[in-house]
Amino acid sequence: MNQFIEFQQQYLKQFNDYLHQQLVQEVHQPQVLEGMLYSLDAGGKRIRPFLMLATLKSLQDNTIITDYFKIAGSIELIHTYSLIHDDLPEMDNDDYRRGQLTNHKKFTPARAVLAGDSLLTHAFIWLTANQLPSEIKTQLVQILAQSAGANGMIAGQMIDIINTGKKLSLEEVTHLDNQKTGALITAAVQMGALCGQASADVMFHLQRFSQDFGLAFQIYDDLLDVTGSQSQLGKKVGKDQLEGKNTYVRLLGIAPAQKKLAAIVQAARQELTEVHLDKSILADALKYFD
């Protein structure tokens, strides 16, 4: 039994419908709405918002989860915008994403830039238009903007772009991934912890957990690029390899990367044990890497 997957299955359809309906209600320009929905509705695993919700649920079991859909959704808006911009011709130049044409292939690169910009901006509307106290809202904005911004995800993407084709050290790749992928995952857990009123000690260990989770996520993704199938990935297999991207698999080889993944998952689990969350929904999210 995996509590995280059960939790996700319990709310996934409702969450997806909520995101869709909110945008339909809130966005009035048809082409902007169409571009936003096209990529948001493409699905994906919704790992980040469900990490946020699972963190909250693990800390406060009696929370009404649906009350936090807008907060969790803001993280998915940011993630979706980053995919649209990353896929652009001048960036990774990808044709497929989540098993469908990328946003700029479906529409135009100009419209894809705007779809990304509007999803990014809309995240901050959702973080401040809800029933939470203002103090919490402003902290949520800080966490999400810091993690998504110039010192977080965007820094990671920049380092990735300027180093594609050059071989990086393991330390450099870890740093890159911490920013590019890890920052938003860490933000998701932090946002859940903030909404769940975690103590400073719990916050400390959850932060370490989330950093490990983010790193594990990237290694797992790199492994999938060589061991997965196109249907599993929703994009071309071996693309990272082909483009000389700096992946763990390229640096370490497959078996050592698998071993590193297992060690990090173990470390992440230990962080949860420290704060008695080792039997929680959140702990079960680590089974994703099994």
Binding positions for a second copy, rule: CB under 8 A:
26-29, 31-33, 36, 81, 85, 88-91, 108-111, 113-114, 116-118, 120-122, 124-125, 127-129, 133-135, 137-139, 141-142, 145-146, 148-151, 154-155, 157-159, 161-162, 179
**Nearest distance from C-beta of residue 124 to a second copy, angstroms:** 4
Which of 152, 196 has the CB closer to a second copy? 152
CB 225 within 8 A of CB 241: yes
Which of 89, 256 has the CB closer to a second copy? 89
CB 76 within 8 A of CB 227: no
Which of 110, 255 has the CB closer to a second copy? 110
Amino acid at the residue 218: Q
**Nearest distance from C-beta of residue 156 to a second copy, angstroms:** 9
Pairwise CA distance, residues 91 & 119, whole Å: 18
Pairwise CA distance, residues 48 & 287, whole Å: 15
**Nearest distance from C-beta of residue 163 to a second copy, angstroms:** 11
Which of 161, 242 has the CB closer to a second copy? 161
Q: Is 257 exposed, middle or buried (0-12, 13-18, 19+ CB in 10 A)?
A: buried
**Nearest distance from C-beta of residue 173 to a second copy, angstroms:** 16
Q: How far is CA 207 from the centre of its chain?
A: 15
**Nearest distance from C-beta of residue 133 to a second copy, angstroms:** 8
**Nearest distance from C-beta of residue 171 to a second copy, angstroms:** 16
Which of 144, 249 has the CB closer to a second copy? 144
- Helix, strand, or coil (residue 3): helix
Pairwise CA distance, residues 195 & 189, whole Å: 10
Residues 6 or more apart in contact with residue 241 via CB below 8 angstroms: 225, 226, 247, 249, 250
Per the rule left: phi > 0, alpha: psi between -120 and 50, beta: everything else, 101 is beta
Backbone angles phi, psi at 96, to 5 degrees: -125, 150
CB 270 within 8 A of CB 211: no
Which of 6, 26 has the CB closer to a second copy? 26
Which of 36, 185 has the CB closer to a second copy? 36
**Nearest distance from C-beta of residue 200 to a second copy, angstroms:** 20
Pairwise CA distance, residues 60 & 54, whole Å: 10
